Amino acid sequence: MYHGEMNISPGHDSRANQKQRTRSAIVEAAIKLLGTGVRPTVAEAAAAAKVSRATAYRYFPTQDALLVEVAAHRPADAVEALLDRAPGDDARAHLLKLQTGFLDTAIAEEAAMRAALRAYLDAWFTAREKGEAAPDVREGRRMRWIATALAPELAALPAAQARRLHAALALTMGIEPLVVMKDVCRADDVEARATLAWAAEALLAAALKAEA
């Protein structure tokens, strides 16, 4: 059976879930501090979340990285609302609804999401300069969203094929493919949406056809 991003053990799932809860606690604490007029540092958010500074800095190496994640956190709620499949929606229709919602968010919050991408890359370069492993600074929402939205289809596929489809669909959503469409391919928002929808449909159809 397919278990998400990788074919992993229940123990690994528990650790991943704990990391996600810790990361979310830090972000929620930062959001609450912002609500009081405080522009929180990583240390202040860690203290409010009752998480050690060392742990918080593994997720958010800089204050900018934390604040970028906070900025991206709210719009993600709109995508979360699309995860439950409406009656009558097949896999294709449901996938395109999810992708459309994700791209709506990426386009509406393009500046914030490009800033987030820069923060992620900065964290990677900082770790590389120190000879350290890259920190886990991204929550991986899109992988969770795809896994939830297409749970029946992914579960029905062989594990290796499900992993491949899951990963490939991640290439059709979010700020990275939007950057490629707009900066490399010189597409406008309409063309970018159409191209990425075509790619997502083609990937899903190919995976399901291979299994049929």
List, in order of start, the domains of the chain with CATH numbers: 10-211 (1.10.357)
Q: Give the pLDDT score at 164.
A: 95
pTM, 2 dp: 0.72
CA gap 73, 113 in Å, rounded: 10
pLDDT value for 111: 80
φ, ψ for residue 186 (rounded to 5)?
60, 35
Closest CA to 207 of 170, 171, 172, 156: 156
Contact in structure between 157 and 95 (CB atoms under 8 Å): no
Strands (DSSP E) contained in 43-137 are none
Residue 169 tokens read as: 């669909």
| pLDDT score recorded for residue 84 | 83
CA distance 7 to 97: 26
* Single-letter code of the amino acid located at 38: V
Q: What is the pLDDT along the chain (212 residues), one digit of tens a residue?
A: 565 544 444 455 677 678 888 988 998 898 888 878 878 899 999 999 999 999 999 888 888 788 877 766 656 767 877 888 888 889 999 999 999 988 988 898 888 778 778 877 887 888 888 898 876 767 678 898 999 999 999 999 999 999 999 999 999 998 999 999 999 999 999 999 999 999 999 999 999 987 66
Instruction: Look up residue 154 and give its amino acid.
Output: L
CA neighbor of 55 nearest in space, from 11, 25, 32: 25
**DSSP designation for 82:** T
Q: What is the pLDDT of residue 74?
A: 59
pLDDT given at position 3? 55
Q: Tokens for 111? A: 């500046």
